[in-house]
Amino acid sequence: MKKILFIVSLTFVSFIFSCKNTNSSESTQQTESNSSESESTENTTNPSTQEKAPTILYAWVNKLRIREQPTTKSKIVVEVKEGTSFTYLNEKTDYKERIELRGTLFNEPWLKIKTDDGKEGWVYGGAVKFYEPVVDANPSPYDTCFEIWKKGDWGKFNTCVEKVRTKQLKKDAQYVSEDNESITLTLLTGEEIIFKNDTLDNIDNFLQKDYLQYLPKVGFFVFRNIYYEGGNYSLVNDKSGKEIIIEGFPKLSPDAKHLITTNQDLEAGFVFNGIQIFGFPNGRFEKLLEKEMNDMEPHAPKWIDNKTIEITMMPPSFDKETKPKNIKVIMNEKGDWEIKE
């Protein structure tokens, strides 16, 4: 009898332990499941609660004015240089305004922005871009004019040049004065040189000479020469008065060690179409590179740094299929200049 009771008791205890182990397993599985669901919930972010990355805008023109209100008559908050970045505050005007920039007429709204130092204001939409522009490390006062010329508008180009020339003549009045017949240039030595402009009465010798600017870092006065057919430019030494003829408008490198010129003439074919680079090896002004181009016209060179220049290549107006492209002119490790297309 005792043996029978012992077997029954043992069976009952085994049954109890069996139930406990089963419940424990289910409990563990449930806990793991709940933990997994919790982790899943924590790792899943509601898209509506995500913060959007700020939109960055870049100044496309130099001396861009940020204003208190969206109008050109409003007070200026700050003036920034080309390539400056700021944050778009997702506000724009309901209306658009027509404003001409770099020879192009835009019809854009005003945008509210914040500068990196926390100043808020409004900028004209046509003056900014959503990508970082290539900024000229040593801009010229005539850059805007040559951007117009790049688009083939000769009339607006000449108007722009005359406006800039007027400012340069006023700025350099101690060195230069001009009238309809001549230009008087005063060198640093005090000596005066007079350049006379010929008239159309003698077409073979016709020459109109225009003063453009003074480059004191390299000691040159810059002139534009317009002939009956074609034209070129001159560099006049500010001490000796010696004149050097170059093919295109000169742009000085940031360190003032090199000059690049570009000239365009594929359609008429009267003058040089290509680029020149000059430098001062051994202290003497010399031509380091000259490349004539037969299929496209070089425009608007920009100094990216002292060893890199970006140039826009434009097809002639009669070529409706070829698209513009950018090339670079780079100084290699040997100190020689080469073109990278």
Q: What are the residue ranges in the chain where pLDDT is below 70?
A: 1-51, 199-205
Closest CA to 293 of 268, 274, 312: 274
What letter represents residue 94's amino acid?
D
Looking up tokens 């600017």 gives: 213
Coil, strand or helix: which one is 102? coil
330 with 337: CB under 8 angstroms?
yes
Pairing of strands 337-340, 325-331: antiparallel
Q: Collect all residues with Cβ–Cβ distance below 8 Å to 89 and sequence separation of at least 6.
A: 112, 113, 114, 120
Q: What is the largest CA-CA distance in the chain?
A: 148
Q: What is the DSSP string of 194-208?
A: EEEPP-TTSGGG-EE
Torsion on CA atoms 297, 300, 301, 305, rounded to nearest 10? -150
- Rg of the Cα atoms in the chain: 35
Q: What is the pLDDT of residue 62?
A: 85
Q: What is the pLDDT of residue 223?
A: 96
- List strands edge to edge, sheet with 176-178: 176-178, 182-186, 192-196
Task: Count CB atoms within 10 A of the CB of residue 174.
Answer: 8
SS3 labels along 296-332: CEEEEEEEEECCEEEEEEECCCCCCCCCCEEEEEEEC
315 with 325: CB under 8 angstroms?
no
CATH number given to 55-129: 2.30.30.40
Q: Give the sign of the dihedral formed by CA 117, CA 118, CA 122, CA 128.
A: positive
pTM beyond 0.85: no
pLDDT per residue as tens digits for the range 167-213:
999 999 999 999 888 999 999 999 999 998 876 555 566 778 999 99
Distance separating alpha carbons of residues 99 and 108, to the nearest angstrom: 8
> Where are the chain's structural domains?
55-129, 143-340
